[in-house]
Structure formats: C-alpha cells, structure tokens
Amino acid sequence: MKKIAIIGHTGSVGAQVYRYFKEKAHPMMGLSIDSQTHDWEEINEYADFVFICVPTPYVWKQRVYDLSILNEVLYKLNKKVVVIKSTIPPGTTEKLQEKYTALSLLFNPEFLSEATAREDFINPDRQLVGYTDKSRKYSMEILNLLPESPYGVIMKASEAEITKYVNNFHGALMVTFANFFYDVCEKTGADFEAVKKAGQASKWVGSPMGRMYWEVFHKGKRGYGGKCLLPKTRIFTEGGSKEIKDIVIGDRVITHNGRTSLVSNTFKRKVDEDIYVINPQGFEPFAITSGHPVLTVQANRKNYGKRNKLSNFIGDYGSMKPVWVDSDELKRGDFLVFPKIKFGDNYLDKEMARLLGYYVAEGSISKIKNRISFALHKKETKIADDIGKIVFKVFGINCHTYRQKNGNGMVVRCSSKELKKFLEDNSGKFSYKKRLSRMIMNSSSSMLKEFLRGYYLGDGSKSTGVYTMATVSKELFYQLQSILFRFGIGFTSKTVSKRIGGDGTKHRESYWIRIRNYVEIKKFGKVVNDPIKKDLKLVRKTSWFDNKFLYVPIRSIDTAYYSGYVYNLEVEKENTFVTSSGIVHNCFPKDIDSLIKWCKENNVDNEIIEATRKANIRILKSQGLTEQKAEKK
C-alpha cells in the first residue's frame, strides 16, 4: 500500500482525504497547524504521495488568493509527487511546477458542500486530476487512488483549475437565472411555482442538480452571498461603539488598520439557521453566520492535561500573520486579532484631561444648581488636593472637602456653570450613562494618557500581577477598551450581572477590565504612572500586543440555532470593521470576484460574469442586503 501524507489533515477538506485513505488501510502521515502525526523529515523520507489541503486565504483588498502557506509547504518538500487540493486560480499549478522543479505537481479540485462534505467526498459526481508535463506519468495512479466516480478523467492542470471555477460560476449564474424569472412572475402576477414546475419538466432545465437552483429562497434570503452578524454585536466607531443594528450610513467605524472609514451602506435580513458562537479568551463571545471572513492567526496550539486546556503559544512570534478565515474554518486555539487604533489630534489641557478622568470615575452633578461632587476614600487626599488645584487654576474657584464622621468616605465639592457644562458635554451626567465625547476619543496620546491616569486613580486598583478598572456604564466600558487599543495595551474583560448584595444593596450590571500579562502590566503602569514595583517574572503567552495587533486566542466555538434579523455593513476603502470580539470583513462571493479580476488581467471578456454579479447585487439590495460595492472602484 502506498504511504500517503496529508498536509492540512484536520481542515474541512484535509480531514475527509485523511479519513478516506486511512479507512482504505494506507499507511498515513498527517501534518497540520494544530496537530501532527509525523514531521517534515519523515514525510520527505517515507511518503509516496503528498496531498496538500492548506488554506489559500482570499486577500480582499487585492482580490487575489494568498498562496504563501502553499508555497511554504512546497518549499519544505523534496522530490515528491504532490497533489494540490487547495483553491488556486487558473494557471497556478504550471507556475508552481516551474518554481519547484524537484517536485511533480498535480491538481485535484474538490467539490464539497459544507453540510454533506463526507458524502460528497466518498461519492463524487466527478474526479479530475490535472497534470503538468512532469507529473503526467503519475496522474492515472492518483486517479485510481481517489474515490471512484461516474466521470473520472486526467487532464491538464489548467483545465482542472478552470473546471473548479465552472462549477462555482454555474451555480451563481443559475441562482441569478431563477431569480430573474421570479421577478418576472412578480411583475406579471404569475405563479412562480407553476412556472418553475413547468420549466423543470424539461430534461434540459430540470436536471436533478439544476432543480436546487430554482429554490430562490435559501435560508430566508434570495441570491448568493451575504454573511452577517447578530443585531447586538458591538462595533467600534470613531466616537466609541454602537450595536450593529444602530449603525447608520455616514457613521465612521474602526477598520483593521486602526483607522476610521465611512459606512456607505447598512443591511439586514431575516434568517432561520444555525450560527457560530465564537468565545475568545477574556473577551465577550460573538455570533456570526456561516462563511463570514474573520481576521485570524492560525497557530500551532495543542490541548493538554485532564482539563483539556490550551497550552501557551510557543513559536515564532514574528511569523504571526493574520489572514482572512471563514467562520466555518475557525478552530479552538486560533487567534482573533484587534488593531492598534490610531490616536487623534484633538488637544485638551493635560490637567483638564486628568480632571475629566477623576469626574468619570468618581464624579456626579447634583440637582442643586451647578454643583459638582467627587466621592473619594478618606485616604485619597492626593486626588482631593489635585482636584482642588486644577479647579482653582482653570476656573478660579475653591473646592470644599467634607469628611464622613462615621465612615471612610470624603466628598470634594465645587459649583461652576462652566465646569458643569464641560463635564456634561464631554462625559455625561449619571454614572451608568457616562460616555466620552467624540472630541475626547479623538484626542492626542498625551491627553488620553492624562485622562486614563485620572480615571484609573479614581476608579482603578492594583494588586500583585493585575490592574483592574470597573464601571457600570456599558458605553464607557467599550470606550476604555478602545483607549487601551490606542496605547497597544492588552487586557481581558468581563461582565458581572446585576445582583442584590448580602446587605440587601442592589448592584447594577458592571463591566470589568483587567491587565494581567506581565508585558502589558509594565506598559499600563507606565501610562498611569503607577507601576507595580514587585518584580513579576511570569510572562503569559496567551494574549499579547505587537506593534500592530492584539492577539486573543479562541477558547471555544459553539453552534446555536437562531431565528431573527442579522446585519452587515458596507465600509468604504478598507471593507472591514472591528467588533468587540475581533475584526470581520464585508464579505462577498470570492471565487466570482477573483475570476472577474483574472479575466481583466488576461484580457478575457467577462461581460457575462459581471452582469451576473451586478444582477445578484440588485437581488440582494431588494432585501436590504448586498455584497460590497466593488463596482464603484
């Protein structure tokens, strides 16, 4: 029996290939990011055939497939017969053959659907093996190894690559075709179901596979494409955050590069389907429909111990390359990423910024005209003195301090119409409604540093190995996260439900931020000028910031049934936006888009595929959902 190696043997395609050959009793070798049964040295020495099933992520901005992982694998192989099953553009196998002359490369496209991947692999309707001049002598042997099909053929590699696109484009074309006649029926008052049945009576129109494209409503919507988020998903904006259902055209949202970009359209649709619930470590979970691209680092993290915990990441941190991964392909231990957000250039006097921090943490405005109060602990005399000095210096008025006779509290009070207006305009009035103004959120690093220092001194705490900040304002909670992203400081967060304490006191829902990683602790201590002096030697490699991103591991992934509205945004230029749990993309059918680009680059008339795509945009827009407006570019 031939010894077979599968590179990417735990992925959606690789797992089916590995399982099939193992059940056929072939000696197997597997190597993936998250698991390996053998190493490269063993594969190069013993494997007769190597199947490559690694991701080729779509780079949305350039409209190309990223072949870097595929190239990395090919570079490590030596004098092997290699079968590529990854998605690649037409002509790629021949180009790779010219580059890796010691290898014999073949291409074997996969035609799997998500729901029936196992059945589709072992009972394919066709089996294609594409060859180069060098690998042709192995093509029939590979074809005979694979599951038998009614149509099995060897062909040039470019022919097999194009056939893969034929399958995808035919589906898009037929969906658009059926939706066209649905609209005609709607306009004329005809019964679409009657027209559909009559049309399907034809042996040409009504083939068994063709019938499925006549089902114009799929998962509650018409057309192809359109991946979305649930209504309460938090989106980071220029001024703080909003639930995605509240985002409107003209809002500016944070994109993957840490800058803001304009929302040019918003969409929603009704679904009735299973969704994915992604649970990042130390961040709130978020729900997402199948196939939505998420910016992710796929890293080699293994489970260990009785509790099946994830190990710390051990690897080359310089090789952490975020790529777009469909939600279906995410795995426990992969890293979600958050951007280092750019600072603005608004300026506020540093002392006033620090005073604003004190007020957001401990301040209130009473019903008594223009009265501002700061509630402090009796030991916080330095803060009380600082408040008094700033108020006198800026506004020329004195503050008064009142100490509790039978308690540990003290209150600093002053009255100023001008100060009251400044505080209300820039941070609100009630503790559970406090939020920073857009002007404050888009301020310089020095100003935000002083605000964060004042807020932390008023409402933060430190102990060995952790800084903590808490608030009862949900909006302020996300704004504080956004500020930490600006400083490149990693953190964890959690929400504590409202409760009644042991003494009968009612507590509002509260929101907590903790800085615990030793590296992040040093950065935060420097910003707020309150370092933890004890030498902490533990460096937790669970989540961390580099100069661009915060990396946060996925703790678990669940599925859940959801019936209701889902939402998407169209964001100019970058076509990405940042949620409170990671970075997602405006998604659209990537195979169709890449084929359009390929046609333009190779001077092939693409009028029919462009027309199909534009017709699909119109269909989706009629339901309040669309692809990104690539035709604007």
**Domain of residue 110, CATH code:** 3.40.50.720
Question: What is the rounded average pLDDT of the residues 152-165?
Answer: 92
Residue 632 has pLDDT above 50, yes or no: no
Which of these ranges, 384-393, 535-544, 581-590, has the smallest mean pLDDT?
Answer: 535-544
pLDDT digits (tens, 9 = 90+) for 191-204: 988 988 888 887 77
Do 20 and 74 lie in one domain? The reply is: yes
What is the share, in percent, of the chain residues with pLDDT greater than 70?
A: 86
Residue 605 sits in which domain range? Answer: 167-224+590-632
Which of these ranges, 123-137, 154-168, 212-226, has the smallest mean pLDDT?
Answer: 212-226
Do 117 and 176 lie in one domain? The reply is: no
DSSP run (H or E) holding 370: none
Query: What pLDDT is recorded for position 332?
Result: 86
pLDDT digits (tens, 9 = 90+) for 369-386: 889 999 999 999 999 999
Do 254 and 199 lie in one domain? The reply is: no
* Structure tokens, 59: 């780079």
Residue 592 has pLDDT above 80, yes or no: no
Do 468 and 424 lie in one domain? The reply is: yes
Q: Identify the domain boundary among 150, 176, 207.
A: 150
Query: What pLDDT is recorded for position 631?
Result: 35
Torsion of the alpha carbons at 42, 43, 48 and 49, rounded to the nearest 10: 170
Question: What is the rounded average pLDDT of the residues 159-168?
Answer: 85
Indicate the pTM of the whole model.
Answer: 0.67
Question: What is the rounded average pLDDT of the residues 275-287?
Answer: 92
- What is the tally of structural domains in the chain? 4
Q: Tell me the C-alpha distance between 472 and 483, whole Å.
A: 17
Query: What pLDDT is recorded for position 605?
Result: 81
Query: What pLDDT is recorded for position 629?
Result: 38
Note whether residue 34 is domain-resident: yes
Note whether residue 22 is domain-resident: yes
Note whether residue 162 is domain-resident: no
Which of these ranges, 79-88, 185-194, 531-540, has the smallest mean pLDDT?
Answer: 531-540
* Structure tokens, 317: 């941190």
Query: What pLDDT is recorded for position 538?
Result: 57
Do 497 and 400 lie in one domain? The reply is: yes
Q: Tell me the C-alpha distance between 281 and 517, whole Å.
A: 13
Query: What pLDDT is recorded for position 306?
Result: 54
pLDDT digits (tens, 9 = 90+) for 435-453: 999 999 999 999 999 999 9
Do 183 and 324 lie in one domain? The reply is: no
CATH number for the domain harbouring residue 299: 2.170.16.10
Residue 394 has pLDDT above 90, yes or no: yes
Tell me which amino acid residue 318 is.
G
pLDDT digits (tens, 9 = 90+) for 416-439: 999 999 999 999 888 889 999 999
399 vs 170, more confident: 399
Do 286 and 416 lie in one domain? The reply is: no
Q: Tell me the C-alpha distance between 277 and 330, whole Å.
A: 11
Note whether residue 345 is domain-resident: no
Do 404 and 535 lie in one domain? The reply is: yes
Q: Tell me the C-alpha distance between 563 and 287, whole Å.
A: 12
Asked if residues 5 and 31 have their Cβ atoms less than 8 Å apart, the reply is yes
Asked if residues 570 and 266 have their Cβ atoms less than 8 Å apart, the reply is yes
Query: What pLDDT is recorded for position 184?
Result: 85
Do 306 and 383 lie in one domain? The reply is: no
596 vs 334, more confident: 334
Asked if residues 83 and 107 have their Cβ atoms less than 8 Å apart, the reply is yes
Note whether residue 23 is domain-resident: yes
Alpha carbon of 479 to those of 202, 345, 441, 568: distances in Å?
60, 17, 8, 22
Query: What pLDDT is recorded for position 118?
Result: 80
Burial 366-381 (b: 16+ CB within 10 A, else e): eeeeeebbbebeeebe
503 vs 81, more confident: 81
pLDDT digits (tens, 9 = 90+) for 225-254: 556 899 999 999 999 999 999 999 889 999
Per the listing, tokens 């990441």 go with: 313
What is the share, in percent, of the chain residues with pLDDT greater than 90?
A: 50
Query: What pLDDT is recorded for position 46?
Result: 94
Do 126 and 263 lie in one domain? The reply is: no
Do 378 and 521 lie in one domain? The reply is: yes
* Structure tokens, 69: 């992982």
Taking the alpha carbons of 18, 22, 26, 31 in that order, is the dihedral positive or negative? positive
Q: What angle do CA 531, 469, 535 make, to 5 degrees?
A: 25
Average pLDDT for the chain = 85
Which of these ranges, 222-226, 272-276, 364-368, 384-388, has the smallest mean pLDDT?
Answer: 222-226
Task: Report which of 400, 405, 406 is spatially closest to residue 373, judged by C-alpha positions.
Answer: 400
pLDDT digits (tens, 9 = 90+) for 130-151: 999 999 999 999 999 999 999 9
Do 69 and 180 lie in one domain? The reply is: no
Which of these ranges, 115-119, 132-136, 372-376, 505-509, has the smallest mean pLDDT?
Answer: 115-119
The counts of H helices and E strands in the chain are 17, 33
Other CB atoms within 10 A of residue 231 CB: 15
Note whether residue 160 is domain-resident: no
Question: What is the rounded average pLDDT of the residues 99-125?
Answer: 85
* Structure tokens, 549: 């991103």
Query: What pLDDT is recorded for position 310?
Result: 59
Query: What pLDDT is recorded for position 180?
Result: 82
Note whether residue 158 is domain-resident: no
Note whether residue 156 is domain-resident: no
Q: Identify the domain boundary among 546, 567, 602.
A: 546
Which of these ranges, 284-288, 294-298, 592-596, has the smallest mean pLDDT?
Answer: 592-596
DSSP letter string, 212-231? GGG---BTTB-SS----B-T
Task: Report which of 495, 499, 498, 496 is spatially closest to residue 481, judged by C-alpha positions.
Answer: 495
Which of these ranges, 172-186, 445-459, 527-541, has the smallest mean pLDDT?
Answer: 527-541
Q: Tell me the C-alpha distance between 127 and 122, whole Å.
A: 11
CATH number for the domain harbouring residue 522: 3.10.28.10
Per the listing, tokens 């500020």 go with: 483
Instruction: Work out the pLDDT band at 164, boundaries 50, 70, 90.
Output: confident
pLDDT digits (tens, 9 = 90+) for 14-69: 889 999 999 999 999 999 865 678 899 999 999 999 999 988 876 656 667 889 88
Query: What pLDDT is recorded for position 630?
Result: 34
Alpha carbon of 339 to those of 83, 236, 280, 490: distances in Å?
37, 11, 15, 11
